[in-house]
Structure 1
Amino acid sequence: MKNAIITGATKGMGRAITIALVKQGINVGICARNAKELAAFEAELLEMAPGIRVAATVADVSDRHQLKKFAEFTEKKLGFIGIIVNNVGMYKHVPILEDDENSMEKQLGTNLFPAYELYRFFGKRLVSAGEGHIFNVCSVAALNPVMEAGVYSVTKYALLGLNNVMRLEMQPHGIKVTAIIPGSTLTDSWKGMDVNKNDMVLPEDVASAIITIYNMSKGANVDQIIIKPAGGQL
């Protein structure tokens, strides 16, 4: 069986992606800061697919030490991790000049550094095995900055840049790297706003794209995929 590690797995896109992987018969390593939510999701996954294994641990992935412990725990429990989904992220709707002074540090710690650290942790293992797939969940804000979410746009632009470097480094070794670039997606980022889900990308759409890409032939890699609402961005 294949093994995957997913950050930000209990909510939104991460939750949908984790469920989709489990339905493919893939073991998963997941974490969350909330122990109760994590335990409930683990139980849900095991009930959904009794044959799979789940490595669940409480961790804040913006903390390098906790992130490393999560990676080590997942690898120890599941074995070789061939699928990495860097999904965790935070969105803040505020222009840079009106933002808090620690906003850049906080959003880099959530939107960029976990992907960087997991790449550093698992990268050489993937190279040694000569197989694997890394998915980095970016944002259309990385392509077209959102003025009202300045720091978020910068950090997602950085994540897309990291994705492109990963892909170039991994290409000679047969490891695939894909940037998932969703537009307006119905997640907690829209909490409290009056939106129509039929006008938005759903987390399940993103999960479906990842599964389709993962199941492509060995010789095919999707460098990046943009998924936007059919009627345009909200």
Structure 2
Amino acid sequence: MTNSARTSPIALFGGFDLRPLIRDERADLAALLRTLSPAQWETPSLCTGWRVRDVVAHLLHDSMPTATYLGDAAKARLSLHRLNDIQVRRAAAWSTDELIDRVEASIDAGLGAAVLPRLSLVDLVIHHQDIRRPLGLDRVIPEARLRAVLDNPDPFAGATNRMRGLRLSAADIDWQVGQGPEVRGPGEAIAMSLAGRPAGLDALDGEGVRVLATRVSRSAPS
């Protein structure tokens, strides 16, 4: 299947059929967190400056009460980086059990899943991998979720610019997009690279990998 669409911020307001995928992804993440040791919770994630526990804390933003989220946004003066910092610092005193309980409580809830399901799903899947990859806990992302993430890359994370002028081809599912020098490999590696994770590049090949790698190196993931 060839998909030539480019996700825009406006398009992210659609995709309400993705909410069951968000629910399943949250449930899978919660199940993983139940297995982690104290040392694994403190392991640096793929997000610069964030441990595994910090990534989990960040993911709880989607289930915050609307008033709390808007209050944090006002304090952050609409800066995404300041907003992330406020929310991660708030959770610094929470135990890992409390973090897990909050993730489990968010499985069937969340403003993001209700209003911006496409953005919510891609953020969740990418950050799930940000946790798993440094811990060496590989998984096969269910195809429906992987395809949804590839079809709806996060424009706020720079994905649109990274994929510009390249042909991206997944080797493990029937998915490809774009025109130009080819980048081919596992769909998960493509998704991680588009999200700015250099760790995804190692599994890719093709004439376009060098171009993609240059674009990925320009920004640190968060």
TM category (shorter chain) comes to under 0.3
Q: Which has the higher strand share?
A: 1
TM-score by length of 1: 0.26
Greater RCO, CA 8 A, separation 6+: 2
**TM, length-normalised to structure 2:** 0.27
